[in-house]
Structures are given as structure tokens and as C-alpha cells.
Chain A
Amino acid sequence: EAQVTQNPRYLITVTGKKLTVTCSQNMNHEYMSWYRQDPGLGLRQIYYSMNVEVTDKGDVPEGYKVSRKEKRNFPLILESPSPNQTSLYFCASSRALGEKLFFGSGTQLSVL
């Protein structure tokens, strides 16, 4: 089944403790992206990747890092999480930029 898989689904952590949210897609998509969803703000793009080893900042990249060493994986790294990064995070992929986006099921992160 074609899908975008995020892990974990839920994560509670404390300020400053490094964490990684994994994202994997099995559709051989070139484009991958991370979004955060907050009440009243909709989905905002954090980082995106056009292809392997090519990443770029979205609208809200501060406090986040990404890497794209393989086509299928696009992990989101929070080196020193802060409470304002408490949010619902979505990974998405598409065959190419501008084509249909497929979203993962989300990761609910709480930073205490």
C-alpha cells in the first residue's frame, strides 16, 4: 500500500532534549516536506526537499533541522525543543513539486 509513515504518533518530551521524528514514503517520490499544524494557523511548512541531498527552508524553519540522505526518508530533528514547538506535525510527499501531496498520519508533539 502506497503510504507516508511517520513515527512516533505521539511524543511527550522536556525542553532541551533532542528528538527526531521519522518519515518514510514507499512511492519513490522525489519531493518531501514537513508541516506543523496549530489551531487557527493552518498548516505551515517547516522544511522541504526536492530530491536527495537537496533541502530548503519553508515558512517556519527556526529550531528545526532535516536531512535527505535517501530518497525514501526525511527525518525532522529538533536539537533543543522548546514549548513553542508543541504542535501536530505532518510529513508529506509527492512525485515532484506541484503534484499531488500525500500526507502521513501526523505526530502529536508536546514539549514540557
Chain B
Amino acid sequence: TQLLEQSPQFLSIQEGENLTVYCNSSSVFSSLQWYRQEPGEGPVLLVTVVTGGEVKKLKRLTFQFGDARKDSSLHITAAQPGDTGLYLCAGRGSGSRLTFGEGTQLTVNP
């Protein structure tokens, strides 16, 4: 079974601060996805990274896939209250099976 560990599990910051969320595994993934989930809703796909070392930007969010395709990070610059939510990483491994991390609950206080 391929496991994905996210850290930190909880993060509470002030508006305007920067933060980084990590997603780590001992397994290699063909691609890695990041989702955001808001209360009462299902996860929504933010980005998919495919190539080792790949960096993708989505406004104030920067996603990076590790060179060895075993880990990923999500960096948010100048966080806003609207960024509050549960951030989930998910790796696609053998047989195209998608494995989810436990999630990082982010709270951005005004």
C-alpha cells in the first residue's frame, strides 16, 4: 500500500502570512494532485503535477513535485481568509490507483 503523509495536520495563521504544506511518501507516483475541500463540500482539484521537479503556479499558490516524484509541496503567499480549507494531496501510483493523504486543515484569520 502506498502511503502519503501530510504535514502539518493543522495550521492556523494570520492573513498576509506565507505557508507551506508538505506531502511525503516513500513510494514513487506517476503524478500528484492537490485538492481543496471546504466544509460541506467535496474536494475540488487544484492542480496535477506530473514531471519530477515540476513547478506550477495558480495565483498565490505554488505547487512543486519532488525530483524523485515521491513528495510534493504547496506554498501559499500572502494567505487570505478565502484560502481557509482542508488541503489534500493525492498520488497516482500503480494501476492508476489514487492514494490520498490525511489532509492539512488551514485556517487563515483576518
Contact = CB atoms under 8 A, between A and B. Distances in A.
A90 B88 CA distance: 14
A98 to B, nearest CB: 5
Interface residues of B, number: 20
Which residue among A4, A40, A98, A100 has the maximum number of chain B CB atoms within 10 Å of its CB?
A: A98
Interface in A91-112: 92, 97-98, 100-101, 103-106
Contact residues of B: prevailing secondary structure = loop
A63 to B, nearest CB: 19
A106 B42 contact: yes
Given A97-B96, A98-B92, A98-B96, A42 B103 contact: yes
Interface of A: 4, 35, 40-45, 59, 90, 92, 97-98, 100-101, 103-106
8 contacts: A42-B101, A43-B100, A44-B100, A90-B43, A92-B42, A103-B43, A103-B44, A106-B42
